[in-house]
C-alpha cells in the first residue's frame, strides 16, 4: 500500500508515517495540497499529515484542506517527539552560520535559539527539504533546522542538538484514508493507535447569540470529554468561522449520537471527519 506524506525523506512526517504504516511504501510529496490530491485521486491509499504542535499550535493549512476534501477521513493519530538540530555542510564551524532554513513551524519552535545566536531564519517548504538544499550547496553560512535523521540521510554535520525552545515539543499527526475505503484503518500498526476512541468533526454555527455555547453545552451535559477546539475562517463570508472539534467517544454510541443530534439542530451543518483510536504513546525519532 502507498502512503503519502509531506516533505522530503528525513522529515518528521516521514517518522510519523513509518510508525503508523511500518510495512507500507511511503511516497514523499512537496506540499500538503499534493498529499491530499494524491489521496483523492487514488495515487495513494493513505496519507499522514501534521495537525498541531505543542509549541507552534495548529497546522492551519491541513485543517483547511480537511474541510476542502470531504472524501478524506481520519483513521488514526500518532504523536512524535520533535527534537531539532542545526545542520550544516561537513567541516562547517558553528561561528560561520548566519542563516538557518526550515519549515515555518520548525523555525517557530527554535526561535529562542536562533535569536540568541543571531542567526537569521529563512522559510523553506520542509525541514528535511531544507537539509537537502543545504547539502546540495556550497555556502557554509547557511544551515538547516531539521532532524538528526535528515542529517544522516543527506550527509550533514550536527552543529547543535535539541535546539527547540520547549523540551516538551510534540507534534500530533493524522493518518487519513478515503471515506469509501473502509479497510484503510486496518493497515495502521496496532501499537501506534491503541488508545480511547476519539471523533473529529467540523461544523458551522447559526448566526445567533450564544451559538457557540449551544453547540458545546450538550457535550458537557453528557459528560463527554472535549480534547481540542480550533476555529478557522469560513472563506465564504467575512468574519464567519467554522470550528474543528475533537472529543472522546464514538457516534455509534447512543449517548454520543444523541449529543450529535442536538448539535445538528443548533448548527448550520456538522461534518464528521473520522472516528479513530487515540495515540497510545509518543514516538521518538529513533523509534522510526
Active site residues: 171, 173
CA distance 288 to 18: 6
Torsion over CA: 190, 29, 81, 77 (sign): negative
Dihedral pair phi/psi, residue 4, rounded to 5°: -90, 145
Alpha carbons 103 and 107: distance in angstroms, whole number: 6
Nearest to 64 by CA among 39, 40, 32, 41: 32
* 243-247: long-range contacts, CB 8 A cutoff, minimum separation 24: 243/202, 243/203, 243/204, 243/205, 243/212, 243/215, 244/63, 244/66, 244/200, 244/201, 244/202, 244/273, 245/200, 245/201, 245/202, 245/203, 246/198, 246/199, 246/200, 247/198, 247/199, 247/219
Task: Report DSSP state, residue 287.
Answer: G
- Count of other CB atoms within 10 angstroms of residue 186: 9
Q: Which helix (H) or strand (E) holds 15?
A: helix 12-20
Amino acid at each position: 500500500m502507498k502512503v503519502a506524506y509531506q516533505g522530503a525523506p528525513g522529515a518528521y512526517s516521514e517518522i510519523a508515517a513509518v510508525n503508523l504504516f511500518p510495512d507500507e511504501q511511503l511516497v514523499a510529496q512537496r506540499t500538503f495540497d499534493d498529499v491530499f490530491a494524491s489521496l483523492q485521486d487514488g495515487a495513494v491509499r493513505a496519507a499522514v499529515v501534521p495537525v498541531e504542535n505543542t509549541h507552534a499550535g495548529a497546522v492551519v493549512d491541513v485543517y483547511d484542506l480537511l474541510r476542502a476534501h470531504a472524501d478524506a477521513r481520519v483513521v488514526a493519530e500518532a504523536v512524535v517527539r520533535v527534537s531539532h538540530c542545526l545542520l550544516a555542510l561537513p567541516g562547517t564551524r558553528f561561528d560561520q552560520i548566519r542563516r538557518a532554513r526550515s519549515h515555518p513551524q520548525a523555525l517557530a519552535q527554535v526561535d529562542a535559539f536562533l535569536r540568541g545566536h543571531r542567526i537569521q531564519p529563512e522559510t523553506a517548504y520542509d525541514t528535511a527539504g531544507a537539509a537537502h538544499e543545504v547539502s546540495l550547496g556550497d555556502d557554509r553560512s547557511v544551515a538547516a533546522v531539521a532532524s538528526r535523521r535528515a542529517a544522516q540521510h543527506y550527509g550533514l554535520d550536527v552543529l547543535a542538538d535539541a535546539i527547540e525552545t520547549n523540551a516538551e515539543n510534540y507534534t500530533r499527526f493524522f493518518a487519513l484514508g478515503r471515506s469509501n475505503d473502509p479497510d484503510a484503518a486496518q493497515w495502521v500498526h496496532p501499537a501506534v493507535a491503541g488508545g480511547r476512541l476519539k471523533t473529529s468533526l467540523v461544523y458551522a454555527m447559526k448566526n445567533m447569540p450564544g451559538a457557540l455555547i449551544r453547540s458545546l453545552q450538550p457535550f458537557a451535559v453528557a459528560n463527554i470529554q472535549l480534547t481540542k477546539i480550533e476555529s478557522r475562517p469560513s472563506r465564504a463570508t467575512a468574519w464567519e468561522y467554522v470550528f474543528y472539534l475533537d472529543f472522546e467517544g464514538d457516534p455509534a454510541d447512543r449517548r454520543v449520537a444523541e449529543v450529535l443530534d442536538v448539535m445538528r439542530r443548533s448548527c448550520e451543518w456538522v461534518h464528521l471527519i473520522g472516528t479513530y483510536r487515540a495515540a497510545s504513546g509518543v514516538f521518538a525519532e529513533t523509534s522510526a
